[in-house]
């Protein structure tokens, strides 16, 4: 990867499921060390976009590079440096928390320690618990620890704090701020304005499979001429995010 190449490059991505055109045309460049937010209502095409960037879905059209690698062709190499947390994690439901962490750690050459990962997402007390007996918020936190198991340089987080209580949400933001300080590149799908404003260097507003605007949170507000990012989102999409979140 040349130094001028972004950590994530997506060019003119498109993806349909039968009659639904989930992603019509999405292009994104995320620089190394940058945190990019993707904001949109339910069904806007956010998950489909990040699944294509992660190599989990092949685009109908367009091109993706992550750290210079093609996510589908260079899957094995990319797995060493990319961490992905998705909404519906496909996990072995009868494994214990530490067993799942150790399974994921075994995929990587230089993983984080189990104790460190448990501590990061505050699951040390639940380390012997079977996955399906965890609460929704605990499962969510475990999926984040699994995404970080290999000490990735690029992380994709889909709805990081959905289902977490306010205190857990704030602690998770602290974890992400630590990753940012370590220079990790982050792509963060979110429904939460406060989260995006606090964590994201830039944000892409996506609706009906297209990017409507892409700027810093303050730049978006200034450009649209509203008081808040919330209002800017409504002005851009004609939809209220809180109602659909």
Ligand X SMILES: Nc1ncnc2c1ncn2[C@@H]1O[C@H](COP(=O)(O)OP(=O)(O)OP(=O)(O)O)[C@@H](O)[C@H]1O
Binding ligand X (rule: CB under 6 A), the pick from 35, 47, 114, 237 is: 47
Taking alpha carbons only, the member of 224, 169, 171 closest to residue 194 is 169
Q: Does 133 bind ligand X (CB under 6 A)?
A: no
Shortest CB 105 distance to ligand X, Å: 28
Q: Does 43 bind ligand X (CB under 6 A)?
A: yes
Among 45-53, 72-80, 97-105, 114-122, the segment contacting ligand X (CB under 6 A): 45-53
Radius of gyration for the chain, computed over Cα atoms and rounded to the nearest angstrom:
18
Structure tokens at 51: 């699944």
Binding ligand X (rule: CB under 6 A), the pick from 34, 36, 37, 46 is: 46
Instruction: Give, rounded to a whole angstrom, the gap between the first and last alpha carbons of the chain.
Output: 37
Phi, psi of 220 (to 5 degrees): -65, -45
Q: Does 20 bind ligand X (CB under 6 A)?
A: yes
Count interface residues toward ligand X (CB under 6 A). 11
Distance, in Å, from the CA atom of 42 to the CA atom of 48, rounded to the nearest integer, reads 12
CA dist 70 → 65, 78, 105, 143 (Å):
5, 8, 23, 24
Q: Which H or E run includes 178?
A: helix 166-181
3-state SS class at 89: coil
Are residues 172 and 5 in contact, defined by beta-carbon separation less than 8 angstroms?
no
Among 38-46, 107-115, 119-127, 223-231, the segment contacting ligand X (CB under 6 A): 38-46
Q: Does 17 bind ligand X (CB under 6 A)?
A: yes
Shortest CB 64 distance to ligand X, Å: 15
Structure tokens at 142: 């475990």
Q: Does 22 bind ligand X (CB under 6 A)?
A: yes
Among 14-22, 124-132, 146-154, 235-243, the segment contacting ligand X (CB under 6 A): 14-22
Q: Does 42 bind ligand X (CB under 6 A)?
A: yes
Q: Does 45 bind ligand X (CB under 6 A)?
A: yes
Residues found near ligand X in the complex (CB under 6 A): 17, 20, 22, 40, 42-48
């Amino acid at each position: 990867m040349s130094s001028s190449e972004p950590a994530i490059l997506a060019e003119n991505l498109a993806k349909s499921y039968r009659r639904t055109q989930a992603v019509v045309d999405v292009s994104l460049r995320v620089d190394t060390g940058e945190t990019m937010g993707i904001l949109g209502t339910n069904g806007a095409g956010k998950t489909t976009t990040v699944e294509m960037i992660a190599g989990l879905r092949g685009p109908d059209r367009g091109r993706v590079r992550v750290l210079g690698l093609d996510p589908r062709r260079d899957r094995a190499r990319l797995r060493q440096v990319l961490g992905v947390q998705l909404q519906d994690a496909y996990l072995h439901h009868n494994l214990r928390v530490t067993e799942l962490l150790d399974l994921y750690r075994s995929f990587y050459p230089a993983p984080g320690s189990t104790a460190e990962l448990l501590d990061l997402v505050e699951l040390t007390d639940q380390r012997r618990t079977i996955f399906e007996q965890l609460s929704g918020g605990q499962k969510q936190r475990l999926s984040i620890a699994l995404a970080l198991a290999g000490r990735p340089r690029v992380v994709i987080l889909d709805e990081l704090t959905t289902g977490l209580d306010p205190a857990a949400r704030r602690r998770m933001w602290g974890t992400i701020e630590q990753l940012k300080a370590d220079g990790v590149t982050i792509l963060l799908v979110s429904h939460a304005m406060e989260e995006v404003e606090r964590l994201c260097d830039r944000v892409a507003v996506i609706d009906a499979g297209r990017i409507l605007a892409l700027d810093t949170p303050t730049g978006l507000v200034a450009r649209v001429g509203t008081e808040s990012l919330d209002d800017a989102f409504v002005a851009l999409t004609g939809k209220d995010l809180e109602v659909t979140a």
